[in-house]
């Protein structure tokens, strides 16, 4: 309780802030005996997160709530990726700038270098827009919202700033990525999102069975069997997880090379490079013909024995 009062005092001592309520808040109707702490615990699992409800509703200090009163509750959102979605396109849609793609990946503990499978659940943090009424350091603003200054560098980069402070009247976007809704409070997925999630699970289960069979057929030199094993998997390759998509793409590309089908081989390898640009093939495991098409697709090759 002492900590939240300290953070609240810091916030109120700083210029006033408001939460962006355009798409990352929900309305809650206060019930009898509700308090800010109880609502925060219900939505976030932590009474100390009541400070964000206060900021969203422009409360300058904790106060008793009235039954029937409507409050804005800042919420993180979950989106289910569609074919063609990237961290950059999602950041442009939900975080206001395509350049925030790498931040969105990091908020979800994913690599910004890798492509996104369709059907993936991505958490979108809610944003607090802080408006300075005097010169302030980014570190002090970060401490007010996060309780410490560890994310100050991230907040500066997130706002594309080169200085460590903002002047009176400047705005600072603060993504609250560490506060998420309790599972019981998450809204139900719409039909399209649910279908994409189910399609992803089905595709990944199918690939888990098909990939070992395709590999064995490849080792046996039975290219027709490889093609048969991957036929259904190829249709949903955008829904496979990263390792599966890479394995299937390389098998398909190599298969097309074996049948002298240059164009589909190039397309298969390009999909691999798009999903994982850092993936490398080796001269030890792949033929010169395969490596030539792989390089044409933009892939890189490491020599045998190279680290």
Helix, strand or coil, per DSSP, at residue 112:
coil
Phi, psi angle pair for 76, to nearest 5°: -75, 155
Token match 């070992």: residue? 212
For the chain, the residue count is 307
Q: Where are the alpha helices (DSSP H) in 34-86?
A: 36-44, 50-56
> Is the pLDDT reported for residue 20 higher than 60?
no
Whole-angstrom distance, CA of residue 124 vs CA of residue 90:
9
Token match 């395509």: residue? 98
Structure tokens at 133: 């009424």
- Residue 152: partners with Cβ closer than 8 Å, 6 or more residues away: 138, 139, 142, 143, 164
> Is the pLDDT reported for residue 303 higher than 80?
no
The residue-averaged pLDDT of 213-233 equals 94
C-alpha distances (whole Å) from 224 to each of 75, 129, 155, 214 are: 51, 58, 54, 10
Q: What's the pLDDT band for 128 if we cut at 50, 70, 90?
A: confident
> Is the pLDDT reported for residue 22 higher than 90?
no
pLDDT score of 184: 85
What is the value of pTM for the model shown? 0.79
> Is the pLDDT reported for residue 12 higher than 50?
no
Three-state SS annotation for the chain: CHHHHHHHHHHHHCCCEEECCCCCEEEEECCCCCCHHHHHHHHHCCHHHHHHHHHHCCCCCCCCCCCCCEEEEECCEEEECCCCCCHHHHHHHHCCCHHHHHHHHHHCCCCCCCCCCCCCEEEECEEEEEECCCCEEHHHHHHHHHCCCCCHHHHHHHCCCCCCEECCCCEEEEEECCCCCCHHHCCCCCHHHHHHHHHHHHHHHHHHHHHHHHHHHHHCCCHHHHHHHHHHHHHCHHHCCHHHHHHHHHHHHHHHHHCCCHHHHHHHHHHHHHHCCCCEEECCCCCHHHHHHHHHCCCEEECCCCC
The segment(s) of the chain belonging to CATH 1.25.40 are 191-302
For the chain, give the percent of residues with pLDDT over 70.
91
The residue-averaged pLDDT of 139-160 equals 95
Helix, strand or coil, per DSSP, at residue 71:
strand
Q: What digits encode the pLDDT tens for the residues 224-247?
A: 999 999 999 999 999 999 999 999
Of 1.20.1740, 1.25.40, 1.10.720, 1.20.1250, which CATH number belongs to 191-302?
Answer: 1.25.40
> Is the pLDDT reported for residue 257 higher than 80?
yes
Q: What's the pLDDT band for 181 if we cut at 50, 70, 90?
A: confident
> Is the pLDDT reported for residue 120 higher than 70?
yes
C-alpha distances (whole Å) from 43 to each of 72, 180, 248 are: 12, 8, 41
H or E segment to which residue 298 belongs: none
Q: Is residue 135 within 8 Å of 167, Cβ to Cβ?
A: yes
């Amino acid at each position: 309780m002492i900590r939240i009062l300290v953070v609240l005092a810091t916030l109120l001592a700083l210029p006033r802030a408001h939460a962006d309520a355009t798409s990352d808040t929900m309305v809650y109707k206060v019930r009898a005996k509700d308090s800010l702490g109880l609502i925060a615990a219900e939505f976030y699992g932590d009474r100390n997160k009541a400070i964000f409800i206060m900021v969203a509703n422009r409360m300058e200090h904790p106060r008793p709530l009235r039954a029937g009163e409507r409050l804005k509750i800042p919420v993180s959102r979950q989106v289910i990726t569609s074919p063609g979605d990237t961290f950059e396109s999602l950041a442009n849609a939900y975080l206001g700038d395509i350049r925030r793609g790498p931040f969105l990946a990091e908020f979800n503990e994913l690599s910004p270098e890798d492509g996104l499978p369709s059907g993936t659940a991505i958490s979108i943090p809610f944003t607090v827009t802080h408006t300075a009424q005097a010169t302030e350091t980014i570190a002090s603003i970060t401490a007010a919202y996060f309780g410490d200054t560890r994310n100050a560098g991230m907040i500066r980069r997130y706002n594309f700033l080169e200085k460590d402070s903002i002047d009176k009247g400047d705005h600072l976007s603060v993504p609250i990525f560490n506060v998420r809704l309790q599972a019981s409070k998450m809204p139900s997925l719409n039909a399209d999102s649910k279908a994409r999630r189910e399609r992803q699970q089905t595709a990944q289960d199918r690939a888990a069975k098909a990939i070992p069979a395709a590999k064995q057929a490849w080792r046996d030199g039975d290219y027709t069997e490889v093609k048969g094993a991957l036929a259904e998997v190829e249709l949903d390759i955008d829904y496979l997880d990263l390792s599966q998509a890479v394995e299937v793409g390389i098998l398909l590309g190599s298969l097309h090379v074996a049948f002298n089908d240059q164009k589909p081989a190039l397309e298969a390898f390009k999909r691999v490079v798009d999903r994982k640009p850092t993936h490398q093939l080796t001269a030890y495991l792949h033929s010169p013909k395969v490596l030539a098409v792989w390089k044409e697709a933009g892939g890189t090759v490491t020599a045998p024995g190279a680290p």
